[in-house]
Amino acid sequence: MAKILAIDDDAAILRLIRKMLSLKKHEVTTLQSIKDMTIEELNQYHLILLDVMMPDEDGFKICEKMRSLIDIPIIFMTAKSDESSIIKGLSIGGDDYIVKPFSIHEVNARIEAHLRREARPKKGVKSVFIDGDILIDLEAKKVMIKGEEVSFTKTQYKICELLALHKGKIFSKEDIYESVYSIESDSQISTVVEHIRVIRKKIAQFNLAPISTVWGVGYIWE
């Protein structure tokens, strides 16, 4: 059984998908908008079905935000059948592209194929991140520096993990906020600055400073 999230503004399609996948013993969540959904909530799913022409935001933009933060299959379901749209959907991080109107049997077959692929053992997947004297246990959600555990809040840890796992990439305050809190939030961005300050202070106790400020742009783990 897999947990599947279906996002579409068409309630009839969502009912059909729920009925079909429930018969396959999958746990299905259907939504017409993901405006206030957090990355933590998205990570609970094994696969996402996503419409492109959404009322609040373009599905391609939603996929781009998701793909930079989560690593689960995303299948587009859309009436946009032109070649340029298909190429765009797959190039920005979509794993598959199904054109409406579709066969429900085809949708099921594609879903099952992606779930089987995800279930295969993955070679080289790291459960820890090591950068010099800093070790991040990705399973236990802990940070060790020079063998000593550093106490971080849940939010501080998530910021640390995001920057460390994307070493060399610059993240704006908005990028970090969307990762930690909500995929579509534009308030309280200033809290990120305070969290970064505290994280740096705790790491600085070990005479280390892996997080740098790129003025006017954001933050980077170097």
What average pLDDT does range 70-89 have in this prediction?
Answer: 88
For residue 72, how many other CB atoms are within 10 A of its CB? 19
Q: Which residue has the higher pLDDT, 142 or 127?
A: 142
- The yes or no reply on domain 128-221 and CATH 2.30.140.10 is no
177 close to 187: Cβ distance less than 8 angstroms: no
Distance CA 33, CA 155 (A): 25
CB 192 within 8 A of CB 181: no
Highest mean pLDDT among 36-50, 58-72, 101-115, 203-217: 203-217
Question: 186-195, long-range: CB within 8 Å, 24+ apart, which pairs?
Answer: 192/159, 195/155, 195/156, 195/159
The predicted model scores a pTM of 0.57
The answer as to CATH 3.40.50.2300 being correct for domain 3-119 is yes
175 pLDDT higher than 90: no
List strand residue ranges (DSSP E) for 60-187, in order.
Answer: 74-78, 96-99, 128-131, 134-137, 142-145, 148-150, 170-171
Give me 185's structure tokens: 């939030």
Q: Could you give the residue range(s) of every CATH 3.40.50.2300 domain in the chain?
A: 3-119
Mean pLDDT of the chain: 86
